[in-house]
Amino acid sequence: MDPAGFQRAMADLGHEVSRETLDRLKLYQGLVEKWQPAMNLIGSATIPDIWERHFLDSAQLLPLIAPDERRIADFGTGAGFPGLVLAIMGGLNVDLIESDSRKCAFLRQVAIETGAIGRVTIHNARAEKLKPFPVDVATARALAPLDKLVDLLAPFVGESGRCLLHKGERVDPELTRARRLWHMRVTKRRSITDTRGSILIISQLRAKKRNP
């Protein structure tokens, strides 16, 4: 997939990508390629397909975010997928949570060069060490099994916020384990970039009583 293919795919989702936004994503692509040899930001095999495997995979969340959901937190953001893509494309305020200080330096540079720096807050910390703050939407991609992930995100989203989570082909067993510990409303959508993957939309999180 090239930038034009990315634009078409987003148009199919009902989200038009302006030339200015596309140029910002091209800058992002260039920075990934520049920093990749020193930092292994993403899997090297995915570099040639970055527009689908990373940009589109991230951007498919945009149509799922409501207009009044203005504060997003991306946990284990790594090279900024999906959180920094959402900030660049959606004009959203995004907290990027990443424990690797070198990756945080990369995120800061991308945010500066793409003009997103005023909309992102970069937390160089492990999520479990952060004091929880309220967010409308929490995102995460390939961070942890769902039961552990919900434990991590629940203090930030509470019962009124939502989680938009990229999950792979093992999503159903993960859901079974998580539901033993949490009441939750779940909608599962097929990922448009991975026929075996899903986007989980989780809301109304409430912990079940646990045995001591």
- pLDDT tens digit at each of 212 positions of the chain: 999 999 999 999 999 999 999 999 999 999 999 999 999 898 888 899 999 999 999 999 999 999 999 899 999 999 999 999 999 998 889 999 999 999 999 999 999 999 999 999 999 999 999 999 999 999 999 788 899 999 999 999 999 999 999 998 889 999 999 999 999 999 999 999 988 999 999 999 998 876 66
Where do the DSSP E strands lie in 1-136?
71-75, 93-98, 120-124
User: Phi and psi at residue 133, in whole multiples of 5°?
Assistant: -135, 150
**Per-chain mean pLDDT for the chain:** 94
pTM beyond 0.85: the answer is yes
Spatial contact of 74 and 95, defined as CB atoms under 8 Å apart = yes
Share of the chain above pLDDT 90, in %: 85
Bridge partners for 198 per DSSP = 167, 190
Both structure tokens of 121? 């807050």
Residues 192 and 9: beta-carbon distance below 8 Å: yes
Sheet holding 120-124, edge to edge: 120-124, 93-98, 71-75, 137-141, 162-167, 198-207, 182-190
Distance CA 2, CA 52 (A): 8
Distance CA 41, CA 58 (A): 15
What confidence tens digit (pLDDT) does each residue in 65-82 have? 999 998 999 999 999 999
**Helix or strand holding residue 106 (H, E):** helix 101-114
CATH class of 3-207: alpha beta
